[in-house]
């Protein structure tokens, strides 16, 4: 405790004057007691002990540790134990990074009680979940909260369809309660790409089979969109096997779906989330303004080669797909930045 | 409190089932993006693209099955180049005979036939009980026909060709459906199926009835009832359990063939159970263990028409039973990105009982080890090397190696070279049966033989051209095969050449088969399908014991056209022409014929479900060509099909 306190006091000159005033308002006494030499404190809140949260946190740590001459202190806590971080200490963090929806919920709840909560960057959270979470926040609070979404922008997903399977234009989409709001956005994105979409809507998982049967005759491609009701452990077998046997390739949004049998998947890995999260937090620590919530800049396209071969589909190489989606220029830039240890640097985890 | 308890138990069960997601949360979260799922499509379950298979392959899917106008399973192989479909009424009623590149006779045709990986070749004589399928054509997902020997990949008996029926996975059938046929020559069929599931457990039940009167003017009617139950259970992210049980029960009318073979009705029944446990770690790594049991019973207790001069009339037991138990394990894995390995082994026990041919028949045990490796040497070169080692008590240990190279000099243009050797183990009856198989009145008996397995050395050069934009595939196969140690049942020919052999069954003949065959599949639009095939086959043999050199049509041509009109009408026409031939065994020459089959169907929505009414006609112009024997005269058949399905 004392060590942490010392760090914070030494940090004072490095902090913005406004930030210091807020901290003083919050816990003047606590701050007077502390004295240390660490330049910044970041609290990482993990939703639970699942490995992917750890991967994000580790990547975040690796990205932040060299900053401020190595004087960044990163505390890590599980959402379930967030209550054990006492009030003044919580409020004193420069940046809070919740990883996952549960962590974000816990942090928001905690921050609601603070007049001026710390800057918060949510990682590994779906856009929709974040928007729902941010809605009830006060304007002041909302201004201090941002996110790096786990999901890809629809435009990127549809670009992938055009690049990977240029001769397939009829796209089947099954929408569930969480994803139904995507319909109009998908329609408008599809229009400019000469794709025709056929939608089926389901209210619960038991309806997925019938929905699949209704879109298959009209589709030469099935686009999965994240929705717990549509693709889950109960439905994935039927979705992938039935469409495969009808020779309809499936485009997924996660590595799990790819490994299960989707033809191609577009996703950001936990490491990519951590890496971009570290870049954003790094800029925050350099006193840049909090960016607006954004879709991931780093992503991976992977092709299930066995399924592609079996369906008789010759897809462009993964590196070419990644590069095409990144834009060739970006890809080259990335390559030089990361000593080109792969033909498509952004596809690296 | 109680509800909370139930919710907790439900959650615990969910987790115990290893879903990867502790409980089906209804709210979107990052779990959707990071969840692991079971490997649904693993290498062992994936269909190989035609340009990458080590042998020529024809795939028959459900759309082709419907369009073909086929009513029974055997007829489907008219679509496949090199195949011949005939009927024989000489042995125990009407039996379909499917053969590839001839050499077949009424008992068997040197094919391996699998349903979901279990061999249904009859343990007694090795033939296929084509009338004993415990499900309907509608329950097939697709059929893979491997045109060439493939012991290393398809197991014991994959000699001239292999037919692999893949039935629909339980998860593919949700809801209820019923179908009924009625037509001339006593055609009366009906089937019903129901599929459902809960969580990761899916099941499907099928039951049905088939009946027809066979050929006109002969007592060869058939009646079968059948049922199958299938369950697919995904236990967690890695394990999958397939459970199937089913069976058939029915009778065949047998026409008068002589005083010792009077007109009567024989009863046939089959039953099977299959358990397959698969573990898929990822697309290229996994294994399975499969155990199945198949039981075939022919009950044929009859009284000859001429009574013996003294004593009470003696009943003859012309029945047989065959029981097969087979255990197989297989592992597939990859090393690096370019090598994929498969290896495994199986043990099989065949227990047979044929009182008329032998008082006691020892069981046949066959053990085999197999393995093959696929090496993607470069983008344009794929090599496949395989080997099967088979050991059985009757013919010892033998090897079946295979080597294939698939070379793609340009995108979508592939040339395949295949060199393979395969075996056909003699059946227990061939080895131990005391035959009386001569023409009626002149039976010949002899001691059982020490038979060698039949062998084939197959040389194949194929071209596979694919035009993905046009949805067209052309496959042309040139072949030169040497078939040796052909097992003949003496007595087929009662001449001096045959007299030279002192035994019942001998490795008597050899044959060389050369020719070319091809198929063209074109789907110019979603509504239209064109399937064309042609073959030319030249068999040369000394024909010491049987007429092998004429045992297949020299030429055959087939064309299937199908089109969908206005999204509700389907029409298809199926034309087949083949030259004359004479099958081995107790056959008579079959003249050349050309027949037209046609089907018209209309779908509509009614009572909240999907209905279809279809009219099918076979041999539309009523060409009276003969099948195996002169009294098996083909006629025009037509029937009306009504089906109704409710999706769940």
Is A143 in the same domain as A239? no
- pLDDT given at position B440: 43
Write the pLDDT tens digit of every residue in A330-348.
Answer: 543 444 444 333 333 344 4
Is A117 in the same domain as A237? no
Write the pLDDT tens digit of every residue in A112-159.
Answer: 888 889 999 999 999 999 999 999 999 999 999 999 999 999 999 999
Residue A336 inside a domain? The answer is yes
Is A183 in the same domain as A122? no
Write the pLDDT tens digit of every residue in B420-439.
Answer: 999 998 887 777 766 544 44
Q: What residues make up the domain containing A183?
A: 154-267+299-347
- pLDDT given at position B307: 57
Last residue of a domain, one of A236, A258, A285: A285
Residue B142: its chain A contacts at CB < 8 A?
Answer: 245
Residue B33: its chain A contacts at CB < 8 A?
Answer: 124, 126, 150-151, 226, 253-254, 267
Is A138 in the same domain as A175? no
CA torsion angle B458 B461 B465 B471 (round to 10): -10
Query: Which is more confidently placed, B313 or A122?
Result: A122
Is A331 in the same domain as A244? yes
Strand-pair partners of B485: none
Residue A11 inside a domain? The answer is yes
Query: Which is more confidently placed, B373 or B501?
Result: B373
The whole-angstrom distance between B145's CA and the closest CA on chain A is: 16
Establish if A244 touches chain B: CB-CB under 8 angstroms.
Answer: yes
| B603 — pLDDT class (breaks 50, 70, 90) | very high
Is A46 in the same domain as A29? yes
Pairwise CA distance, residues B415 & B56, whole Å: 11
Establish if A179 touches chain B: CB-CB under 8 angstroms.
Answer: yes
How much of chain A, in percent, has pLDDT values that exceed 90? 63
Write the pLDDT tens digit of every residue in B606-617.
Answer: 999 999 999 999
Inter-chain touch B29–A102, beta carbons under 8 Å: yes
> What DSSP string describes A72-119?
EEEEEEEGGGGGGS-HHHHHH-SEEEEESHHHHHHHHHHHHTSSSPPE
- pLDDT given at position A349: 37
Query: Which of A103, A225, A234, A310 should we substitute to test contact with B (largest number of B Cβ atoms within 10 Å)?
Result: A234
Could you tell me if A98 and A122 are in contact, meaning their C-beta atoms sit under 8 angstroms apart? yes
Inter-chain touch B30–A205, beta carbons under 8 Å: no
Last residue of a domain, one of A254, A285, A316: A285
Is A260 in the same domain as A171? yes
Residue pairs spanning A and B at CB distance below 8 A:
164
CA B330 to chain centre: 21
The whole-angstrom distance between A269's CA and the closest CA on chain B is: 8
Inter-chain touch B33–A126, beta carbons under 8 Å: yes
pLDDT tops 80 at residue B8:
no
- pLDDT given at position B292: 97
pLDDT tops 90 at residue B443:
no
Residue A291 inside a domain? The answer is no
Give mean pLDDT, residues B569-583.
Answer: 95
Name which of A129, A233, A253 is nearest B20 (Cβ-Cβ).
A233
- pLDDT given at position B449: 58
Is A133 in the same domain as A9? yes
Domains and CATH numbers, chain B: 37-647 (2.40.170.20)
Centre a 10 Å sphere on the Cβ of residue A196 and count the other Cβ atoms it contains. Answer: 12
From the number of C-beta atoms within 10 Å of its C-beta (0-12, 13-18, 19+), residue A171 rates as buried
> What DSSP string describes B429-483?
HHHH-----SSTT-----PPP-PPPEEEEEEEEEEEEEEGGGTEEEEEEEEEEEE
Could you tell me if B572 and B510 are in contact, meaning their C-beta atoms sit under 8 angstroms apart? no
Give mean pLDDT, residues B242-254.
Answer: 96
Strand-pair partners of B503: none
Q: What is the residue-averaged pLDDT of chain A? A: 84
- Integer angstrom CA distances of residue B629 from A123, B91, B92, B543, B593: 77, 12, 14, 20, 15
Give mean pLDDT, residues A213-239.
Answer: 92
Residue A126 inside a domain? The answer is yes
Half-sphere exposure of A40 (CA within 13 A, CB side): 30
Inter-chain touch A101–B30, beta carbons under 8 Å: yes
- pLDDT given at position B313: 67
Residue A24 inside a domain? The answer is yes
pLDDT tops 90 at residue A291:
yes
| A219 — pLDDT class (breaks 50, 70, 90) | very high
Establish if A229 touches chain B: CB-CB under 8 angstroms.
Answer: yes
Structure tokens at B213: 């009167």
pLDDT tops 90 at residue B303:
no
Q: How far apart are the first and last CA of chain A?
A: 36
pTM of the full structure = 0.84
pLDDT tops 80 at residue B255:
yes
- Integer angstrom CA distances of residue A338 from A278, A295, A342: 16, 22, 9
- pLDDT given at position B3: 45
- pLDDT given at position B588: 87
Centre a 10 Å sphere on the Cβ of residue B383 and count the other Cβ atoms it contains. Answer: 18
Residue B39: its chain A contacts at CB < 8 A?
Answer: 259-261
Establish if A234 touches chain B: CB-CB under 8 angstroms.
Answer: yes
Establish if A122 touches chain B: CB-CB under 8 angstroms.
Answer: no
pLDDT tops 90 at residue B133:
yes
> Which residues in chain A (260-299) have CB-CB distances under 8 A to chain B?
260-261, 267, 270
Apex B209 CA angle, B203 and B213, nearest 5: 155
| A53 — pLDDT class (breaks 50, 70, 90) | very high
Q: What is the residue-averaged pLDDT of chain B? A: 87
Is A311 in the same domain as A195? yes
Inter-chain touch A236–B141, beta carbons under 8 Å: no
- The pairing of strands B264-282 and B569-578 is unpaired
Residue B32: its chain A contacts at CB < 8 A?
Answer: 126, 226-228, 231, 253-254
- pLDDT given at position A26: 56
Could you tell me if A295 and A127 are in contact, meaning their C-beta atoms sit under 8 angstroms apart? yes
Inter-chain touch B283–A261, beta carbons under 8 Å: yes
Give mean pLDDT, residues B162-177.
Answer: 91
Q: With left for phi above 0 and alpha for psi between -120 and 50, is residue B117 left, alpha or beta?
A: left
Establish if A115 touches chain B: CB-CB under 8 angstroms.
Answer: no
Residue A6 inside a domain? The answer is yes
| A39 — pLDDT class (breaks 50, 70, 90) | low
pLDDT tops 80 at residue A84:
yes
Name which of A210, A240, A312 is nearest B468 (Cβ-Cβ).
A312
Establish if A306 touches chain B: CB-CB under 8 angstroms.
Answer: yes
> Which residues in chain A (203-222) have CB-CB distances under 8 A to chain B?
205, 209-210, 213
Query: Which of B31, B37, B144, B239 should we substitute to test contact with A (largest number of A Cβ atoms within 10 Å)?
Result: B37
Q: Closest by alpha carbon to B93, among B137, B134, B132?
A: B132
pLDDT tops 90 at residue B317:
no
Full strand arrangement of the beta sheet holding A170-175 = A196-201, A170-175, A221-223, A250-252, A264-267, A300-303
pLDDT tops 50 at residue B10:
no
Establish if A24 touches chain B: CB-CB under 8 angstroms.
Answer: no
How much of chain B, in percent, has pLDDT values that exceed 90? 62
The whole-angstrom distance between A233's CA and the closest CA on chain B is: 5
Q: Which residues contact B55 (CB under 8 A, 6 or more apart)?
A: B146, B147, B148, B149, B150, B404, B418, B420, B460
Inter-chain touch A209–B43, beta carbons under 8 Å: no
Residue A47: its chain B contacts at CB < 8 A?
Answer: 30
Establish if A196 touches chain B: CB-CB under 8 angstroms.
Answer: no
Query: Which of A256, A270, A303 should we substitute to test contact with B (largest number of B Cβ atoms within 10 Å)?
Result: A256
Is A130 in the same domain as A259? no
Q: Say which DSSP state B606 is in.
A: E
Residue B172: its chain A contacts at CB < 8 A?
Answer: 238, 241-242, 245
Domain count, chain A: 2
The whole-angstrom distance between A237's CA and the closest CA on chain B is: 6
Q: How far apart are the first and last CA of chain B?
A: 34
Inter-chain touch A50–B34, beta carbons under 8 Å: yes
The whole-angstrom distance between A255's CA and the closest CA on chain B is: 7
* CATH at residue A167: 3.40.50.2300
The residue of chain B with its CA nearest to that of A130 is: B29
Residue A293 inside a domain? The answer is no
- Integer angstrom CA distances of residue B192 from B115, B179, B180, B599, B645: 20, 6, 9, 22, 9
Name which of B21, B49, B169 is nearest A233 (Cβ-Cβ).
B21
- pLDDT given at position B174: 85
Inter-chain touch B648–A178, beta carbons under 8 Å: no
Give mean pLDDT, residues B476-494.
Answer: 82
Q: Closest by alpha carbon to B84, among B71, B102, B105, B59?
A: B102
CA torsion angle A7 A9 A15 A20 (round to 10): 130
Residue A32 inside a domain? The answer is yes
Pairwise CA distance, residues B401 & B422, whole Å: 7
pLDDT tops 90 at residue A299:
yes
The whole-angstrom distance between A40's CA and the closest CA on chain B is: 28
| A25 — pLDDT class (breaks 50, 70, 90) | low
Is A144 in the same domain as A21? yes
Query: Which is more confidently placed, A170 or A33?
Result: A170
Write the pLDDT tens digit of every residue in A227-257.
Answer: 999 999 889 988 999 999 889 999 999 999 9
Is A84 in the same domain as A99? yes
Query: Which of A237, A249, A318 should we substitute to test contact with B (largest number of B Cβ atoms within 10 Å)?
Result: A237
């Amino acid at each position: 405790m004392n060590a942490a306190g010392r760090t914070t006091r030494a940090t004072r000159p490095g902090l913005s004057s406004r930030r210091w005033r807020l901290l003083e308002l919050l816990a003047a006494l606590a701050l007077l007691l502390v004295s240390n030499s660490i330049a910044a404190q970041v609290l990482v809140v993990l939703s639970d002990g699942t490995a992917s949260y750890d991967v994000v946190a580790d990547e975040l740590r690796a990205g932040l540790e060299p900053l401020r001459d190595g004087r960044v202190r990163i505390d890590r806590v599980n959402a379930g134990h967030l209550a054990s971080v006492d009030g003044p200490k919580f409020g004193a963090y420069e940046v809070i990074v919740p990883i996952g929806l549960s962590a974000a919920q816990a942090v928001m709840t905690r921050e609601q009680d603070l007049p001026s909560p710390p800057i918060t960057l949510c990682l590994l959270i779906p856009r929709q979940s974040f928007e729902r979470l941010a809605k009830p926040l006060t304007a002041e609070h909302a201004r201090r909260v941002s996110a790096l979404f786990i999901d890809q922008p629809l435009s990127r997903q549809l670009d992938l369809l055009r690049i990977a399977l240029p001769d397939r234009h009829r796209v089947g989409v099954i929408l569930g309660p969480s994803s139904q709001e995507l319909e109009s956005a998908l329609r408008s994105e599809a229009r400019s790409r000469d794709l025709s979409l056929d939608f089926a809507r389901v209210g619960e998982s038991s309806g997925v089979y019938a929905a699949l049967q209704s879109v298959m005759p009209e589709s030469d491609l099935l686009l999965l969109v994240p929705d717990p009701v549509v693709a889950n452990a109960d439905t994935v077998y039927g979705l992938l096997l039935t469409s495969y046997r009808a020779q309809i390739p499936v485009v997924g949004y996660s590595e799990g779906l790819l490994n299960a049998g989707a033809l191609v998947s577009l996703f950001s890995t936990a490491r990519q989330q951590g890496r971009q999260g570290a870049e954003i937090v790094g800029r925050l620590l350099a006193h840049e303004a909090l960016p607006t919530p954004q879709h991931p800049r780093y992503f991976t396209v992977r092709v299930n080669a066995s399924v592609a071969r079996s369906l008789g589909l010759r897809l462009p190489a993964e590196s070419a797909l990644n590069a095409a989606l990144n834009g060739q220029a970006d890809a080259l830039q990335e390559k030089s930045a990361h000593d080109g240890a792969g033909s498509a640097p952004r596809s690296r985890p | 409190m109680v509800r909370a308890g139930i919710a907790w138990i439900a959650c615990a069960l969910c987790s115990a089932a290893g879903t990867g997601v502790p409980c089906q949360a209804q709210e979107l979260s990052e779990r959707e993006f990071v969840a692991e799922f079971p490997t649904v499509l693993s290498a062992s379950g994936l269909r190989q693209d035609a340009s990458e298979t080590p042998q020529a392959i024809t795939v028959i899917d459900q759309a082709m099955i419907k369009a073909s106008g086929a009513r029974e399973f055997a007829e489907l192989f008219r679509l496949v180049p090199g195949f011949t479909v005939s009927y024989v009424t000489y042995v125990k009623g009407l039996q379909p005979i499917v053969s590839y590149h001839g050499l077949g006779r009424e008992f068997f045709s040197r094919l391996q036939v699998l349903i979901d990986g279990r061999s249904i070749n009859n343990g007694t004589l090795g033939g296929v009980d084509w009338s004993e399928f415990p499900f309907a054509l509608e329950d097939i997902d697709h059929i893979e026909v491997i045109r060439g020997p493939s012991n290393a990949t398809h197991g014991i008996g994959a000699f001239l060709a292999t037919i692999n029926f893949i039935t629909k996975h339980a998860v593919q059938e949700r809801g209820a459906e019923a179908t009924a046929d009625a037509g001339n020559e006593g055609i009366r069929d009906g089937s019903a199926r129901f599929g459902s599931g809960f969580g990761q457990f899916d099941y499907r039940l099928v039951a049905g009835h088939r009946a027809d009167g066979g050929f006109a003017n002969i007592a060869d009617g058939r009646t079968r009832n059948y049922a199958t139950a299938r369950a697919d259970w995904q236990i967690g992210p890695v394990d999958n359990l397939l459970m199937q049980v089913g069976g058939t029960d029915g009778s065949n009318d047998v026409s008068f063939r002589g005083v010792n073979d009077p007109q009567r009705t024989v009863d046939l029944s089959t039953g099977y159970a299959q358990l397959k446990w698969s573990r898929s770690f990822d697309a290229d790594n996994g294994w399975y263990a499969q155990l199945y049991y198949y039981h075939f019973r022919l009950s044929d207790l009859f009284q000859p028409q001429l009574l013996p001069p003294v004593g009470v009339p003696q009943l003859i037991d012309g029945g047989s039973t065959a029981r097969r138990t087979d255990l197989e394990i297989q592992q597939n894995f990859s090393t690096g990105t370019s090598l994929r390995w498969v290896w495994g082994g199986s043990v099989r026990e065949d227990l047979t009982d044929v009182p008329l041919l032998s008082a006691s028949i020892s069981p046949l045990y066959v053990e085999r080890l197999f393995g093959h490796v696929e090496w993607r040497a470069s983008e344009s070169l794929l090599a496949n090397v395989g080997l099967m080692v088979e050991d059985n008590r009757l013919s010892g240990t033998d090897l079946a190696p295979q080597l294939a190279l698939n070379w793609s000099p340009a995108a979508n243009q592939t040339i395949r070279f295949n060199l393979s050797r395969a075996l056909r183990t003699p059946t227990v009856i061939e080895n131990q049966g005391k035959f009386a198989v001569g023409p009626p009145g002149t039976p010949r008996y002899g001691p059982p033989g020490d038979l060698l397995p039949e062998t084939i050395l197959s040389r194949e050069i194929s071209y596979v051209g694919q035009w993905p934009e046009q949805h067209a595939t052309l496959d042309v196969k040139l072949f030169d095969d040497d078939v040796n140690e052909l097992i003949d049942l003496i007595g087929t020919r009662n001449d001096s050449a045959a007299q030279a052999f002192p035994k019942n069954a001998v490795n008597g003949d050899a044959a060389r088969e050369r020719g070319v065959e091809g198929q063209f599949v074109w789907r110019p639009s979603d509504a239209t399908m064109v399937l064309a095939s042609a073959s030319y086959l030249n068999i040369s043999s000394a024909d010491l014991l049987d007429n092998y050199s004429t045992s297949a049509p020299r030429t055959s041509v087939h064309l299937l056209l199908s089109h969908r009109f206005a999204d509700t009408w389907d029409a298809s026409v199926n034309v087949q022409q083949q030259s004359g031939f004479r099958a081995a065994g107790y056959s008579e020459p079959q003249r050349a014929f050309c027949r037209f089959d046609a089907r018209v169907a209309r779908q509509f929505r009614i009572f909240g479900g999907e209905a279809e009414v279809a009219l099918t006609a076979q041999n539309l112009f009523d060409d009276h060509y003969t099948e195996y024997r002169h009294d098996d005269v083909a006629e025009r058949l037509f029937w009306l099909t009504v089906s109704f399905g409710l999706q769940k």
